[in-house]
Amino acid sequence: MSPAAAREERGPGQPQWSQQETREFIAIRAELEKDFTASKRNKTLWEVVSSKMRERGFRRSPEQCKCKWKNLVNRYKGKETSDPEHGRQCPFFEELHAVFTQRAHNMQRLLLESETRSAQTKKGVKRSSVDRSSEELSEDDDEVEYDSEEEKPSRSNTRKRKVDKVGMEKSSRANNPSNVVSNSTSSIQEMLKEFFQHQLRMEMQWREMMERRAQERQLFEQEWRQSMEKLERERLMIEQAWREREEQRRMREESRAERRDALLTTLLNKLINESN
């Protein structure tokens, strides 16, 4: 995390977020995930998060909570990951993964509810349109029956115009709600599609990063192994040279000792001969 981001989420004169405080914060944010998904204005919700944090003994402003959540999400996405060898992409990975899994479930639930409402609305509109048409046509039939024989041609034309008008109104009433529901459904489907594509991109980026880290680690291990082998060869060469020097020194000392012994033996023999 950058120093600027750390200052924003901590606030002036306030301590850093502890692990316990961060876990409590993630739990509160998870409780309100459904509200965050349904609402576009999150300022009030961040005030609720700040209030719940205060109830648990942590004093953080809504802006600090919002900034902290942004930094946690960035870490979860893989922008600031820890050492992959330990099996964790970022701190609090399990808690954050549960929140995003719940978000996906909420989006799927909204889509199913929208599709259900769409089907019910279409059925209701169709039924009401048929009922209205039947009533209006029935009224027209009654009027025609009560008219005299002389008025039948004009009544027939009037009835035809009314039937056309009823058909047009029925078509208009049937199309307008359907379009609204269809637009709402397509909007939610587009939002879900974008969300899953974003999740897929994050997973692909994370896998690419893990593969790149693995390659870098393998290259580092190979270079380290080659360096160790080179040092081992140098050590063996130095040790071999030292042994050769020691062997030569030992041979020189033995040669000097033999010459000294020979000289002493010669002197002793000479002294013995002179004394005799």
Mind listing the pLDDT tens digit for each residue in 214-244?
Answer: 999 999 999 999 999 999 999 999 999 999 9
pLDDT tens for each residue of 79-130? 545 545 444 556 777 888 888 887 777 777 777 877 787 677 666 655 555 4
Could you tell me the two tokens for 49? Answer: 């998060």
Q: Which helix (H) or strand (E) holds 174?
A: helix 152-275
Higher pLDDT, 152 or 197: 197
| Residue 14 confidence (pLDDT) | 72
Given a cut of 60, whether residue 163 has pLDDT beyond it is no
pLDDT tens for each residue of 52-82? 999 999 999 999 999 998 888 888 776 545 5
pLDDT tens for each residue of 239-269? 999 999 999 999 999 999 999 999 999 999 9
d(CA 265, CA 268): 5
Fold assignment, 3-80: Arc Repressor Mutant, subunit A (1.10.10)
| Residue 52 confidence (pLDDT) | 92
Are 62 and 46 contacting, i.e. CB atoms less than 8 angstroms apart?
yes
d(CA 157, CA 161): 6
**What mean pLDDT comes out for the span 122-143?**
53
Locate the domains of the chain by residue range.
3-80
Kindly indicate the confidence band of residue 178, based on its pLDDT and cuts at 50, 70 and 90.
low
d(CA 118, CA 127): 14
- Mean of the per-residue pLDDT values of the chain: 77
Amino acid present at 10: R
Q: Which of 67, 73, 68, 88 is nearest to 22 (CA)?
A: 68
Given a cut of 50, whether residue 147 has pLDDT beyond it is no
Give the Å distances, CA to CA, from 32 to 22, 26, 229. Answer: 16, 10, 58
